[in-house]
A and B are shown apart, each in its own frame.
Chain A
Amino acid sequence: DPKIIQKPKYLVAVTGSEKILICEQYLGHNAMYWYRQSAKKPLEFMFSYSYQKLMDNQTASSRFQPQSSKKNHLDLQITALKPDDSATYFCASSQEMGRDWEDTQYFGPGTRLLVL
């Protein structure tokens, strides 16, 4: 059974619209992350959360808003979508925030977003 679920798997959106990417992890982890992978850039860190609190934000645009309604959920709301937002968005999680040797980040299957 998949331990990190991302929904939807594929998403097509119109420029200017708003979408929410869902991430749920069933690994019992306390830290969750969002990364983006596009053709132009390699894997790029976006946000990190620990115990549902924002720890780091490397996304310049406020159009990207993470939302943690539950400990094992970290959704990503994207508003005013642009074609440049087209990418695969990966959710990841780790037991803690990586201060310990064993805190490996595990990646979900990703949501592939295409903005037309």
Chain B
Amino acid sequence: GDSVTQTEGLVTLTEGLPVMLNCTYQTIYSNPFLFWYVQHLNESPRLLLKSFTDNKRTEHQGFHATLHKSSSSFHLQKSSAQLSDSALYYCALSASSSFSKLVFGQGTSLSVVP
């Protein structure tokens, strides 16, 4: 079945340093949708980015990601981390004949410290 693998566990960064959270996926379908959701403490997941197009950079709120089908990757990046970026980040995949579900990775907890 479809699966998503993310940078494991907790990533701690100093404010101002670049952010890179890894995401790779597996699916038999050639045209998957890839998403990054962000979940702040005691909140629900909220869409941060999504992509469908191979090798096209997508950006939102200072974050960016590029879907690379050749390597089945969709890494999340930001040039300079802010304290407010501290949250749980999920990479997700939608790829099936009916696109009826999101398959989430295990989540990466990002902690930005002063």
B44 engages A90 (CB within 8 Å): yes
User: B98 contacts which of A44, A55, A105, A110 (Cβ < 8 Å)?
Assistant: A55
Produce 1/0 per residue, A15-54, CB < 8 A to B. 0000000000000000001010000001111001010000
Q: Which residues of A contact B63 (CB under 8 A)?
A: none
Q: Point out the residue from B44, B47, B104 that lies within 8 Å of A44, measured CB to CB.
A: B104
Given A58-B101, A104-B50, A105-B102: A43 in contact with B44 (beta carbons within 8 A): no
Count residues of chain B with CB under 8 A from any CB of chain A: 23
Report how many residues on chain A are interfacial, defined by Cβ distance under 8 Å: 24
Say yes or no: is B100 at the interface (Cβ < 8 Å to chain A). Answer: yes
Pair A109/B107 contact, Cβ less than 8 Å:
no
Provide the main secondary structure of the chain A interface: loop
Chain A residue with the shortest CB-CB distance to B46: A107
- Given known pairs A43-B45, A90-B44, the reply for A56 and B101 (CB within 8 Å) is yes
Minimum Cβ distance to chain B for residue A51 (Å): 13
Residues of B within 8 A of A (CB): 33, 37, 43-47, 50, 52, 90, 92, 94, 96, 98-107
28 CB contacts below 8 A, A to B, read: A33-B101, A33-B102, A35-B102, A42-B104, A43-B45, A43-B92, A43-B102, A43-B104, A45-B103, A48-B101, A56-B96, A56-B101, A58-B101, A90-B44, A90-B45, A97-B99, A98-B33, A98-B98, A98-B99, A98-B100, A99-B98, A99-B99, A105-B47, A106-B47, A107-B44, A107-B45, A107-B46, A108-B44
